[in-house]
Chain A
Amino acid sequence: MEPILITGTGVVSAIGLNKAETLEALLSGKSGVGQLRYLKTEHKEFPVGEVKLTDAEMRERLGIPQDAVTTRTALMGMLALGEALEEAQLTKDMLSKVGFISGTTVGGMDMSEQFYLDYIHNEAHKEYIKVHDCGSCSEMTANHFGKFAFTTTLSTACSSAANAIILGANMIRCGEADIVVVGGSECITKFHLNGFNSLMILDTEPCRPFDATRHGLNLGEGAAYIVLESAESAKRRGVTAQALLSGYGNACDAFHQTASSPDGEGAYRAMSEALQLAGLQPSDIDYINAHGTGTPNNDASESQAMIRLFGENVPPVSSTKPFTGHTTSASGSIEAVFCILALQNGFLPVNLNWSQAMEDGILPVSQPTKKELKHVLCNAFGFGGNDSSLLISKVPELVEGPTKNDGASTGSATCYILSAKQISLQQPLTEAWMQEPIEYDVPFTRSIDPSFKEYVSPIEARRMGKILKRALATSKEALKEAGLDTVDAIITGTGYGCIENTEFFLDALSNDGEQMLKPTYFMQSTHNTISSLVAIQTKNHGYNVTYAHKSISFDSALQDAWWQFKLGKINTALVGGHDEMTETFYHILKKGGVMGHDDEMCGESAVSIVISHKPLHQVVEPVETPLQNESALRQAHGPQILCKLTGFQMLHQPTTDTMQDSLARMLQNAGKSLADVDYILTGISGDHGNDEAYLKETKLLFGGKPLLKYKHLFGESFTSSGIGLYVAAQCLKAGRVPAALFVDPKEVNDKQPKCILLYNRTDGKNVSLTLLEA
Chain B
Amino acid sequence: MDELIYTLKQQIIEALNLEDMTPEDIDENASLFGEGLGLDSIDALELIVLMEKNYGIKLKDPSQGKEIFKSVAVMADYIQKNRTK
Query: Bound pair: A and B?
Result: yes
Q: Which residues of A contact B (CB under 8 A)?
A: 198-200, 256-259, 458-459, 462-463, 515-520, 523
The residue from B38, B49, B61 contacting A517, defined by CB atoms under 8 A apart = B49
Give 1 or 0 for each of B4-45: 1 = CB within 8 Å of chain A CB: 000000000001111110000000000000000110111001
B15's nearest neighbour on chain A, judged by CB, is A518
- A520-B20 contact given A198-B49, A200-B48, A200-B62, CB 8 Å threshold: no
- A198-B45 contact given A256-B40, A459-B38, A516-B52, CB 8 Å threshold: yes
Q: Which of B31-84 contact A (CB under 8 A)?
A: 37-38, 40-42, 45-46, 48-49, 52-53, 61-62
- A200-B42 contact given A458-B19, A458-B20, A516-B52, CB 8 Å threshold: no
Question: In the complex the two chains form, what is the Cα distance from A259 to B45 in whole Å?
Answer: 13
- A519-B52 contact given A256-B40, A458-B19, A458-B20, CB 8 Å threshold: no
List of B residues within 8 angstroms of A523 by Cβ: 42
Question: In the complex the two chains form, what is the Cα distance from A198 to B47 in whole Å?
Answer: 11
B48's nearest neighbour on chain A, judged by CB, is A200
Question: In the complex the two chains form, what is the Cα distance from A388 to B70 in whole Å?
Answer: 36
B51's nearest neighbour on chain A, judged by CB, is A516
List of B residues within 8 angstroms of A515 by Cβ: 52
List of B residues within 8 angstroms of A517 by Cβ: 49
B54's nearest neighbour on chain A, judged by CB, is A516
List of A residues within 8 angstroms of B38 by Cβ: 459
Question: In the complex the two chains form, what is the Cα distance from A458 to B38 in whole Å?
Answer: 12
The residue from B19, B40, B41, B46 contacting A518, defined by CB atoms under 8 A apart = B46
Is the CB–CB distance between A520 and B42 below 8 Å? yes
Q: Which residues of B contact A (CB under 8 A)?
A: 15-20, 37-38, 40-42, 45-46, 48-49, 52-53, 61-62
| Besides the known contacts A462-B18, A519-B45, 4 further A-B residue pairs in the complex with CB atoms under 8 A apart | A462-B17, A515-B52, A519-B42, A520-B17
Min CB distance B25 to A, Å, is: 12
Question: In the complex the two chains form, what is the Cα distance from A519 to B38 in whole Å?
Answer: 18
Question: In the complex the two chains form, what is the Cα distance from A518 to B17 in whole Å?
Answer: 12
Question: In the complex the two chains form, what is the Cα distance from A575 to B38 in whole Å?
Answer: 31
B60's nearest neighbour on chain A, judged by CB, is A200
List of A residues within 8 angstroms of B53 by Cβ: 516
B19's nearest neighbour on chain A, judged by CB, is A462
Is the CB–CB distance between B41 and A259 below 8 Å? yes
- A463-B42 contact given A200-B62, A458-B20, CB 8 Å threshold: yes
Question: In the complex the two chains form, what is the Cα distance from A520 to B40 in whole Å?
Answer: 12
The 5 closest A-B pairs by CB, nearest first: A462-B17, A519-B45, A200-B62, A516-B53, A516-B49
B50's nearest neighbour on chain A, judged by CB, is A516
- A200-B45 contact given A458-B19, A516-B53, CB 8 Å threshold: yes
List of B residues within 8 angstroms of A519 by Cβ: 42, 45-46, 49
List of A residues within 8 angstroms of B16 by Cβ: 462
Min CB distance B66 to A, Å, is: 13
Question: In the complex the two chains form, what is the Cα distance from A737 to B38 in whole Å?
Answer: 49
List of B residues within 8 angstroms of A199 by Cβ: 45
Question: In the complex the two chains form, what is the Cα distance from A458 to B52 in whole Å?
Answer: 27
Question: In the complex the two chains form, what is the Cα distance from A516 to B51 in whole Å?
Answer: 10
List of B residues within 8 angstroms of A256 by Cβ: 40-41
Question: In the complex the two chains form, what is the Cα distance from A462 to B61 in whole Å?
Answer: 25
Is the CB–CB distance between A258 and B20 below 8 Å? no
A199's nearest neighbour on chain B, judged by CB, is B45
Is the CB–CB distance between B49 and A463 below 8 Å? no
Question: In the complex the two chains form, what is the Cα distance from A516 to B58 in whole Å?
Answer: 10
Interface centre among B17, B48, B53 (most CB of A within 10 A): B17
Interface centre among A458, A515, A520 (most CB of B within 10 A): A520
Min CB distance B50 to A, Å, is: 9
Min CB distance B85 to A, Å, is: 13
Is the CB–CB distance between B18 and A518 below 8 Å? no
List of A residues within 8 angstroms of B20 by Cβ: 458
Min CB distance A664 to B, Å, is: 52
